[in-house]
A = this chain, B = another copy of it.
Amino acid sequence: IFDNPRIQPNTYCMVKLPSENFRVVKLIPNQTISIGKFGSFQVNDILGLPYGYTFEIQEDKRLRIIQEGVDDHDYVVGAKGALLEPEETNQTLIDTSESQTLSMAEIEEMKKQKTLSGKDIIDHVIKGHNEFHKKTAFSKEKYLRRKEQKYLRRFTPQPMCSSLLLDFYLEKDYKKVLDMSQEMLALLLSMANVRPGGKYLVVDETTGVLTAALMERMAGEGLIVVAHENEHPNLDALKYLSMPTELQDRMIKSINWLQFFEPEGEEEVPEKTPEQIASMKPRNRGAYFRKRNRWLELQNVNDLVANQGFDGLIVASTLHPASIVDRTLHAIGGSRPVVVYSEYKEVVTEVSQLMLKDLRVLAPSIWESRVRKYQTILGRMHPSMTSRGGGGYLVHGTRVFPNEEVNATQ
């Protein structure tokens, strides 16, 4: 419901660059956005267009839409043509720095000439490479891809979503999302049976990406209670999604561990009579409503805790997860999933061991899912040569009610 297929003003947007890197930009009308060595573009030029198209920045700053199979992969897919013959050998290739007859300065000069497109520059660079035609298809491919990443002035706006947010944080600082891969996030969402209307108890140390993913899957219905260890939870990632604040306020409630385990320690904010409220100063009245609402929210959360009111427990935390499970399990409803994510298998193993001993959890299992991407170019299909290590692990169990009579006789 907060997905818009067209590029909207004043929203955040992911911009994919030829280097396969992502950049997050905020699209403020009338501004110019620089994407580093790839040039810059006018925000207004892309507003209202659909996401997903690739634009090339022209010499006059205008944007041309690239058509895949025509303009795109000029060299790489174009390899179907004469340029790259896979059975060629590089028997006579002598590839030294002298093979390139263009100097760095000359290339820099070309880059400054606004009349030359990235493709033109690459053409020049190839022509300047004495030994290019002697390279094997594979080294040509690699060489061209490197040059493309360097010279093509192209970019692709993509809409913000939990998957891209993961990519973004994984690249920036993977600790901020506990090294969670997209496939592990996806698995977590399915194992936790996340859907509209659910009420989830969540511990989210992924800067809010996990909460963002839940929001995507819940479409405005249900409740996310975020338990945390500081004064406020860190859900920074949410700001990148184009999600109304009202929706966030309604669906996401936070509670710290002290409030969770010692609700009696919170000072009550008693209800005031209409007369009392009417007699308050406007400033104090606002403060009263804020505090009173916060108090009611906490009571609501504590009611859910006391009445096994949650439809699932979802933990992605560096605070000892085994204790968190042990001490919050009572709040989870019967037959609901308990899912704990960690960067480390050792941590989920400990949680699983605890669950094995705890009759309140059925059949804990540790899961690992790893996606392997392929270079998907006909004639030269192979898995990506490198990929991120890590990705994390999760343990999944089902909350059950042990029957003491039964277990006594077993």
Contacts and interface: CB of A to CB of B under 8 A. Distances in A.
Contacts of A349: 346
A134 interface: no
A194 B349 CA distance: 35
Contacts of A346: 346, 349
Interface in A342-361: 345-346, 349
| Top 3 A-B residue pairs of the complex, sorted by shortest distance between their CB atoms | A346-B346, A345-B345, A346-B349
Nearest to A349: B346
A40 to B, nearest CB: 44
Contacts of A345: 345
Nearest to A346: B346
Interface of A: 345-346, 349
Nearest to A345: B345
A177 to B, nearest CB: 23
3 contacts: A345-B345, A346-B346, A346-B349
A371 to B, nearest CB: 15
A334 to B, nearest CB: 32
A328 to B, nearest CB: 27
A183 B167 CA distance: 33
A403 to B, nearest CB: 33
A345 B349 CA distance: 12
A388 to B, nearest CB: 16
A122 to B, nearest CB: 35
A6 B349 CA distance: 50
A346 B345 CA distance: 9
A347 to B, nearest CB: 12
A345 B393 CA distance: 15
A200 B346 CA distance: 33
A378 to B, nearest CB: 16
A349 B344 CA distance: 12
A365 B345 CA distance: 17
A349 B349 CA distance: 14
A345 B366 CA distance: 15
A355 to B, nearest CB: 18
A349 B345 CA distance: 12
A346 B349 CA distance: 10
A173 to B, nearest CB: 24
A365 to B, nearest CB: 13
A288 to B, nearest CB: 55
A350 to B, nearest CB: 11
A343 to B, nearest CB: 14
A381 B296 CA distance: 61
A346 B346 CA distance: 8
A144 B349 CA distance: 41
A26 B345 CA distance: 44
A345 B346 CA distance: 9
A345 B348 CA distance: 14
A44 B349 CA distance: 54
